[in-house]
Amino acid sequence: MKRIHLSNLIESNDIFQDIFKKQSDRTAKTDNYYVYFAGITGINDMRIYCDFLANIKDKTSKYNSQYLLFKEKIPFSAVPDRVNDILALINDINFEEIQNSSLKIVDNEELNTRLKNALSVIYELAKKNNLLKTPSIEINFVVKMIVWIQDNLKDIVWKLEDNPKVFYFGKIKEHEALFLFLLLAVGFDVVYLNPAEDPFEKYTFKIPIQKFVYDIQNSNINATFDFFANQGKVVNKITSPTKIASEELKESFFTPESGIFKPFQFVKGNTLPLLINGTIEDLEVYFHQPAKVRPGFHIQNENTVVIPNFFFKINGVNLDRVKYFSLINDLRKSKNTLFAGTVNIAPISIEKSRILSLDSAIDKNKKIIKEELRLNPLYRIKNIRFELEEFILSKIEETINTPIFKFKLENNNILHFIASVIFMDSKVLSSLETFDFTQNIPKIVIYTSHLEDMNVESAFLFAFLNRVGFDIVIFNTAGGGSIENYIDDHYFNTIFLEEFVRNLPLKSESELKEPSIIKKIFNI
């Protein structure tokens, strides 16, 4: 069995792949085990995270001679007879000299020696950090460690090429952290994962753990290991040198400073809308332009795309009808534009009972419980790509916490809002699917010439799409109220034209063309 020492800790560039590497792929040296000791807090890429946990689940179920997995705790089988046997075993042992004692924890002599050395190290750590205040606490601590060793290492097989690994997911306590250090000292790779917090931080006792700290989403706080693992796919892969070189080139070339972006570069990022406080002329100039060339566009905090977008309510019509209708027809032609003849883009009213069924999908802090939401029959967005689904759910929470509405969102309003978004029309969802944040912005153009009541579902959806970064332009020739009844006027622009006219049909481009001389002469 190879030796292990803290100097044999190595750092990883990609812990999600490196942890499964054989020793020969980690280093050219063969004298020692070279091990990873990593803590992963938060989630950077949900798909990669779920696939990683799916791989862990698969390997720990198939190869229990090489993998250990603990979820939230390390089970302790405190059978009285067994505890008494261990107490007899350690009765004459001086804990300060465990490494030199005759203590027999396991039958394998070499492993037993390593375990005694490791137990001595963590005993000293616990002692120095004032965790063993009385003799009885000391004894209980050593008994617990021996029980855990015997229960968890009995099936472990030590291979020259492939050292064993332990994964711990979720909340952790001091003794459990110390047991992970014991396994590290014996030669295990150790990976601690927690998507919501980092309690492990205070238990590392200055042992040099490599930290991978990512965004913590409140909606993941109560999520279990199996919740993530069951969403992932078991994929065995290795990144080629060519792929690594390509990624390094992209990182140096496709940068905010260069103004050049690869397709869907920020597919795992976020958006921040920046209202264009402008005029009709700004619509004519910028509406067809991609986000990256609009005034105010920039990248914030590396992965948030600040999108200058339109949210206009245009009341009335120009005296020059040709100019008015030409503008509308021009906007309709823009790429990825949805056009409607009503402000009710969510035409189906959602039954109250169905809205209330979402109550179990939000916690007391009004945060989404994803696994519950995905089970609801209203949830239409489950078959889209995973990054987009996560983006939509984060935008739902963001909109709830944005003062965009003219009224306070009570619990029932929040449920109604969530229902309106996850039940969105398939055409709106398709526009979201094609949205490359730095490029062409999805758009909604509305034309209506009568007074109509906007349903609250549509108001909710408009608010959500605004926070996503959509361009929204509503033309109402009659000047009737719609979004202004629900949405705070700080979040959209209202423009008034020369006169209000009801029941004015929209004219197409062909209808606006002047008739030819021959048609005028012969009245055809």
Q: Which of 245, 260, 288 is the last residue of a domain?
A: 245
Pair (231, 277) in one structural domain: no
As for how many domains the chain has, the answer is: 2
- pLDDT at residue 447, rounded to an integer: 96
Pair (94, 143) in one structural domain: yes
Classify burial at 146, counting beta carbons within 10 Å of its beta carbon; exposed 0-12, middle 13-18, buried 19 or more.
buried
Which has more confidence, 43 or 310? 310
Pair (78, 131) in one structural domain: yes
In a domain, 334, yes or no: yes
Pair (226, 345) in one structural domain: no
**Where residue 388 falls among pLDDT bands split at 50, 70, 90?**
very high
- pLDDT at residue 161, rounded to an integer: 73
Nearest to 444 by CA among 432, 456, 453, 455: 432
Mean of the pLDDT values across residues 462-483? 94
Q: What are phi and psi of 264, to 5 degrees?
A: 55, 40
Q: pLDDT digits over 148-183, tens only? A: 999 999 888 887 678 899 999 998 888 999 999 999
- pLDDT at residue 2, rounded to an integer: 41
d(CA 197, CA 351): 38
> Would you call 190 helix, strand, or coil by DSSP?
strand
Q: What are phi and psi of 274, to 5 degrees?
A: -125, 105
Pair (288, 231) in one structural domain: no
Pair (233, 287) in one structural domain: no
Does 220 score more than 60 pLDDT?
yes
In a domain, 161, yes or no: yes
Pair (194, 291) in one structural domain: no
Angstrom distances, CA of residue 516 to CA of 323, 373, 519, 521, 523:
20, 60, 5, 9, 10
Report strand pairing: 311-315 vs 493-496.
parallel
Which has more confidence, 347 or 376? 376
In a domain, 258, yes or no: no
Pair (236, 291) in one structural domain: no
**Where residue 47 falls among pLDDT bands split at 50, 70, 90?**
confident
Pair (227, 342) in one structural domain: no
In a domain, 260, yes or no: no
Does 257 score more than 80 pLDDT?
no
Pair (368, 468) in one structural domain: yes
In a domain, 57, yes or no: yes
In a domain, 337, yes or no: yes
In a domain, 517, yes or no: no
Report strand pairing: 298-300 vs 304-309.
antiparallel
**Where residue 523 falls among pLDDT bands split at 50, 70, 90?**
low
- The boundaries of the domain holding residue 199 are 9-245
- pLDDT at residue 4, rounded to an integer: 45
Q: pLDDT digits over 424-463, tens only? A: 999 999 999 999 999 999 999 999 998 888 999 999 999 9
- pLDDT at residue 438, rounded to an integer: 95
Which has more confidence, 253 or 203? 203
In a domain, 524, yes or no: no
Pair (191, 328) in one structural domain: no
- pLDDT at residue 201, rounded to an integer: 63
Pair (318, 285) in one structural domain: yes
